A = this chain, B = another copy of it.
Amino acid sequence: MTDTRTDLSKSQNAYLWLKERIASQEFTPGYRLVLGSIAGELDMSVVPVREAIRQLEAEGLVTFERNVGARVSMVDDTQYRHSMQALSILEGAATALAARQLTTDDIAIARAINGHMIETLDHFDPRAFTTLNREFHAVLFAKTANPRLLELVESEWGRLGNLRDSTFSFVPGRAQESVREHEGILSLIETGASLGDIEAAARRHRSATLDAYLTHEHPGESLGLLTL
């Protein structure tokens, strides 16, 4: 069942394998990455595993402590907010930069996805909702004029380990609000609104998710949205 691709180096395989485990929350923040065990699991020596972990470290997914080992990074609440805010900025810009490239077909696809999201609202499944949500935004980003922004967005999502995204969706009413905002962004794009307006809307959309979480979990507290 090992889906290791032989056309990749072992260290690359280890890298992907670990990344997957972290993203899928099999390895949760704080989880200790023992070189020997992982190497055994993947049927390789420790050397490529170490390389893989170093790469993950450079991306911020893993923290090393000398002579102690590596563990999946803990993102405390503060870091979480900062990453989310950075994400809102990056995604907002990416959306705006893609807006002009989107065809009516693209918009139709996005709208269809949003339709599915609305359907799920009855028998609410946060995981499905989250998946659809990412698909929705993927469509919007797909034709961005700046692929580098996409890399940054992806990397930042990895950093967050999409860990709490599902819990986010649980904030009462936020899901409904979210799909409404999606529709709002789509119509802004359709009607040829200014890039500034589109960017602001897309940014607010992500910020609002975080803000809803903050005010819900820590009543009275708020991110203080970047007003753009």
Residues on A facing B (Cβ under 8 Å): 9, 11, 47, 50-52, 54-59, 66, 79, 82-83, 85-86, 89-90, 93, 96-97, 145-149, 152, 194-196, 199, 224, 226-228
Contacts and interface: CB of A to CB of B under 8 A. Distances in A.
28 contacts: A9-B66, A47-B47, A51-B51, A54-B54, A54-B58, A55-B55, A55-B58, A56-B58, A82-B147, A82-B149, A83-B148, A85-B146, A85-B148, A86-B90, A86-B93, A86-B149, A86-B152, A89-B93, A89-B149, A90-B90, A96-B226, A97-B226, A145-B224, A152-B152, A195-B226, A196-B227, A196-B228, A199-B228
A89 B86 contact: no
**Which secondary structure dominates chain A's binding surface?**
helix
Task: Tell me how many chains of this kind the complex includes.
Answer: 2
Contacts of A146: 82, 85-86
Nearest to A96: B226
Contacts of A148: 79, 82-83, 85-86
Contact of A89 (B58, B83, B90, B196): B90
Nearest to A100: B224
Contacts of A55: 54-55, 57-58
